[in-house]
Amino acid sequence: MRRTVKSDIDYYMNLPYAIEIIPYTGGGFFAKIKELRGCMTEGDTIEEAPMMIEDAKITWLKAALEDGIDIPLPELIKKEGHAERIADDAESCCVNS
């Protein structure tokens, strides 16, 4: 049995990470995911910013998995007390035979 980067990325991409979008004064938008340190991007429009942060998130997750960096769970899951169950799910969902 082994875990694959693809199955792990799919798992983490579906977790409810909070996205912050902040407008720039001169136009454009800054977007980040607070829990994923350094996961940020910019978009020209409010519609583009969420698409850009999803692209940044998949790139961030792929690099973290390949480098063996711990990936934090979303704050929403931690606050609701589901972190232990989610961690167990992560172990079982990402194993291939």
Is residue 21 within 8 Å of 29, Cβ to Cβ?
yes
User: What are 40's strand-pairing partners?
Assistant: 32
pLDDT of residue 81: 60
| Termini Cα distance of the chain | 5
DSSP 4: -
Q: What is the pLDDT of residues 52-68, one digit of tens each?
A: 999 999 999 999 999 99
Token pair listed for 4: 């694959």
Mean pLDDT of the chain: 82
* Domains by residue range for the chain, with CATH: 5-93 (3.30.160.250)
Is residue 65 within 8 Å of 71, Cβ to Cβ?
yes
Token pair listed for 90: 């992560």
In angstroms, the CA 51 to CA 47 distance is: 7
Selected residue with higher pLDDT from 15 and 84: 15
pLDDT of residue 95: 41
pLDDT of residue 75: 86
Q: What is the pLDDT of residues 19-48, one digit of tens each?
A: 999 999 999 999 999 999 999 999 999 999
In angstroms, the CA 97 to CA 2 distance is: 7
